[in-house]
Structure 1
Amino acid sequence: MPPTCYLHDYMPTHDGHQIYYELSGNPKGIPVLVIHGGPGAGLSPGYTDFFDLDSYHVIGFEQRGCGRSQPHLSLDNNTTHHLLDDISQLRTTLGIKQWLLFGGSWGTTLALLAAIREPETVSGMILRGIFLARQTDFHWFLAPDGGAARIYPDAFARFTETMSTQGDLSEVLAHYSAIFSGHQQSLKAVAAIRWYQWEEAIARVFPHSSEPTSLTCSPLLMSLAVLEWHYIINDCFISEDYILQNVHQLRSIPAKLIHGRCDTVCQPQGAYLLHQHWPNSDLLLVEGAGHSSADFGIASALRQATNDFKAMY
């Protein structure tokens, strides 16, 4: 829980999940839903730092199978459509008519889908590190000939070192599927660490030199790896190019799109295409910045975006 949290609770779903959520800031302020990335990352410790808590009512929740939501790591009834139902149910539970959607990475995917589904419930959007969940986005992130692997060939070699050949995207996913769908917990733990280290290696332009060279498999590492794998092998449970084909539903919603020019997790081309299809959006490509919201340029842009939106409210 962030130190600003004044309430935390669980929201039961009709199909056996308990969704953890917490409220911070001013209960009478501008409602904003923070949608975390991954899938499987959970809420980051400093997520409320982007907001003026005198002006914002910040709602954070943890998606099915990760963080403090229960059951942990469950893939049953865990699809994009279930997560969208949870977002809608949470809004109704809290008695909120409209809220600002604030998402990063996979959180942008969910935010966009939630707004396409119920545009009348969204007052605006602030999105960082756009991920459109297209085949080209999966290929960029995980394929041996994808963008990330070409920029970080040494890190990708470590990610795939237990494979006999690197092959193509389908072989990489099949390799991890054999492990994550199996029953050998020790193999799952090692694979989860490799998955996490791959994503960490490409998330920042300048990696943290203080990061440990060896890791133990925490619940966070396991949920991040297993849930990302689960969603990617299922094409994130949406049809190809679904977001761009339906972005016209968002024409009345103002948005700030923030993307690192050097983002190698989510390709900048996706953010640019989304902006082209969405006239009511503003796009900022942050020079010299990568994917992480901890990047100084990205963090500054996010704080400026929340201040700008506050002034518009």
Structure 2
Amino acid sequence: MSERRTLYPPVEPFASGMLDVGDGHSIYWERCGTPGGKPAVFLHGGPGSGISAKQRQQFDPALYDVLLFDQRGCGKSTPFAGLDHNTTWHLVADIERLRVMAGHDKWLVFGGSWGSTLSLAYAQTHPERVNELVLRGIFLASQQEYDWLYTYGASQLYPEAWAEFSGHVPPEERGDLLAAYHRRLTSDDAAVRLAAAKVWSMWEGVTVTLLPDPEMLADFTADDHAVAVARIECHYFRHNCWLEPGQLLRDAHKLRYIPGVIVQGRHDCCTPPAAAWALKQAWPEVDLQIVPDGGHLFTEPGITDGLVRAADRFAGKPGRTEPLLPN
């Protein structure tokens, strides 16, 4: 067998709504699949990107009851791109509110990129509420990972894109690009905010693609998407995602009895495999699958294959579930 799994056909939510989570924030949520199916929650990336219809297709709708939601400030949640009362721990509390709202005792937690960070923070805070973890593109919010993206690392792979990203601010501000962008993304001038957001989102869009994808880059840099992602990411990263240094590795022992799968692209230039490897050392029970021809995005063939097989496995679906080599 060499055929890779693909996404399930498009599916519409069977329920959706807004949940008031306090602090002036309301969260948009939707549930897809079959009511009474295996409970799962999907945690999107960014932070700031919001959910999309294609993300629903990673789960067999006949077997799963999946809740997806736009995190604070993202997508249809309000206030749009709001930074007040918007931290990792606010989001962890929101996930618990959504679980209670949905009536689930425990659920599978599924997240990629920043969604993997949030999944780990949630699972380490509420391990008794997590049946399984499916993670992609591990990001541990370490200084090394911030430096890779915003100081030295990815800049060596994409020098022309880095020149545009760093060149958006004057030379005297380039010693701290996060601070320089934060000033612009929180400016009172809407034109200044939008210009910085588009450059920020273009840099991220370049690093997440294994091969050029003009359509994806156009989506990344669309005005609303760019503003939410850039403002919220910069806000989170300047505060180290409100995590203590090394916290997610330090507390990985809390995951020891939670079955887990990590699907990690070998050529992921946004969240390189070193973080996934470090997590595997701290959580030896997890099934780490490094996709030899994979990058960062869940839509890449090898990454899709691993994620769909992991979700199928935890739903008890018969058939081969181990990762396949590239065709």
Is 1:234 matched with 2:239? yes
Match of 2:96 in 1: 88
Instruction: Give the match's secondary structure for 1:160.
Output: helix
Shift of 1:225: 0.6
Is 1:173 matched with 2:178? yes
CA RMSD of aligned residues (A): 1.9
Match of 1:270 in 2: 275
Match of 2:3 in 1: none
Is 1:160 matched with 2:129? no
**4+ residue stretches of structure 1 with deviation over 3 A?**
209-217
- Which AA in structure 2 matches 1:116? Q
Alignment of 1:3-14 (within 5 A): 3-14=11-22
Is 1:73 matched with 2:81? yes
Write the distance in 1 (CA, Å) between the matches of 2:148 and 2:11: 37
Q: Which structure 2 residue ranges, 5 or more long, are not aligned?
A: 1-9, 319-327
Answer yes or no: is the 8 Å Cα contact 2:202–2:217 preserved in 1: no
Is 1:310 matched with 2:294? no
Answer yes or no: is the 8 Å Cα contact 2:201–2:220 preserved in 1: no
TM-score using structure 2 length: 0.90
Is 1:245 matched with 2:250? yes
Match of 1:222 in 2: 227
Deviations 1:125-146 (A, max 9, x none): 0000000011111111111x2x
Is 1:25 matched with 2:33? yes
Equivalent residues, number: 309
TM-score using structure 1 length: 0.94
Q: 1:214 to 1:290 in 2, by over 3 A?
A: closer
Answer yes or no: is the 8 Å Cα contact 2:11–2:57 preserved in 1: no
Moved more, 212-221 or 202-211: 212-221
Instruction: Give the match's secondary structure for 2:195.
Output: helix
Q: 1:38 to 1:212 in 2, by over 3 A?
A: closer
Q: 1:212 to 1:291 in 2, by over 3 A?
A: closer
Answer yes or no: is the 8 Å Cα contact 1:190–1:217 preserved in 2: no
Answer yes or no: is the 8 Å Cα contact 1:166–1:172 preserved in 2: no
- Which AA in structure 1 matches 2:41? L
Write the distance in 2 (CA, Å) between the matches of 1:107 and 1:261: 19
Alignment of 1:37-186 (within 5 A): 37-143=45-151, 145=152, 147-165=153-171, 171-186=176-191
Q: 1:99 to 1:252 in 2, by over 3 A?
A: same
Is 1:258 matched with 2:266? no
Q: 1:216 to 1:235 in 2, by over 3 A?
A: closer
